[in-house]
Amino acid sequence: MTEATVLVVDDEPQIVRALRINLSARGYRVVTAHDGTAALRAAAETKPDVVVLDLGLPDLDGNEVIAGLRGWSTVPIIVLSARSDSPDKVRALDAGADDYVTKPFGMDELLARLRAAVRRSSVSGSDGTDAVVETGDVSIDLVAKKVRRDGEEVHLTKTEWGVLELLVRNHGRLVSQKQLLREVWGPTYENESHYLRVYLAQLRRKLEREPSRPRHLITEPGMGYRFEL
């Protein structure tokens, strides 16, 4: 991240001025707007990395501005407000705001929250979970809940599928016995590790070429199991 752009939306000039000074001193590029419509326009034009938004705007309600932004952008929004009421905070946060700071605020705190917001959004991520997982000889469709081995469809029972699904959704990762038992059988079965042995054996018999020397459904003794592609 080179230089983050902050869009400041407030109708009180002295607040805008204070923020502009402090933010540019910290190396942020600062864009300002005095009302809601101008804010939405400015956001579309400048694509800010974070928005600081006062709720008390002359033309639009603050939550409308949030909704207007959220319609097309996931930019972090930090709400400023004179009102510290809980209902107000809840509404703003549920409308899509990321943080809520009550006026009067400490500049240090606002800057820290700003840093936190920018840091978060700069961690980009693509969706890692694919609908269908392939391993060369086995294919698992997580949505249709169908499993094929060498092209032929394999029938799995509910429990078998529960185990396999959890392992495949975490393929490559180790899944602890406790987690498997908790998620598939329920919290009261956390110690019934015997079930896992039975069901892993069944899954291996159905999916592995050599069930006695599994390539996908791997046991990590004492810890859990993992699905390898």
| Sites of contact with a copy of itself (CB under 8 A) | 45-46, 74, 76, 86-87, 89-90, 93-94, 96-100, 106, 108-109, 111-113, 115-116, 119-121, 123-130, 143-146, 157-159, 161, 172-174, 176, 178-179, 220-223, 226
Q: Which of residues 198-227 bind DNA (CB under 7 A)?
A: 198, 200-202, 204-205, 211-212, 219, 221-223
User: Is position 45 an interface residue for DNA (rule: CB under 7 A)?
Assistant: no
Give me the least distance between CB of 19 and DNA, in Å please: 31
Give me the least distance between CB of 133 and DNA, in Å please: 21
For the chain, give the DSSP string: ----EEEEE-S-HHHHHHHHHHHHHTT-EEEEESSHHHHHHHHHHH--SEEEEES--SSS-HHHHHHHHHTT----EEEEES---HHHHHHHHHHT-SEEEESS--HHHHHHHHHHHHHHHHS-------SEEE-SSEEEETTTTEEEETTEEE---HHHHHHHHHHHHTTTS-EEHHHHHHHHT-GGGTT-HHHHHHHHHHHHHHH-SSTTS-SSEEEETTTEEEE--
- Binder of residue 195, out of DNA, a copy of itself, none (CB less than 5 to 8 A by kind): DNA
* CA angle, residues 35, 1, 98, in degrees to nearest 5: 45
**Pick 88 or 160: Cβ nearer DNA:** 160
Site string for DNA, 132-171 (x = CB under 7 A): -----------------------x-xxxx-----------
**In this structure, which amino acid lies at residue 157?**
T
- Binder of residue 87, out of DNA, a copy of itself, none (CB less than 5 to 8 A by kind): a copy of itself
DSSP 8-state secondary structure symbol assigned to residue 96: T
Give me the least distance between CB of 205 and DNA, in Å please: 6
Give me the least distance between CB of 140 and a copy of itself, in Å please: 13
Q: Token pair for residue 8? A: 């400041």
Give me the least distance between CB of 58 and a copy of itself, in Å please: 25
Q: Which positions touch DNA (CB under 7 A)? A: 155, 157-160, 177, 185, 192-198, 200-202, 204-205, 211-212, 219, 221-223
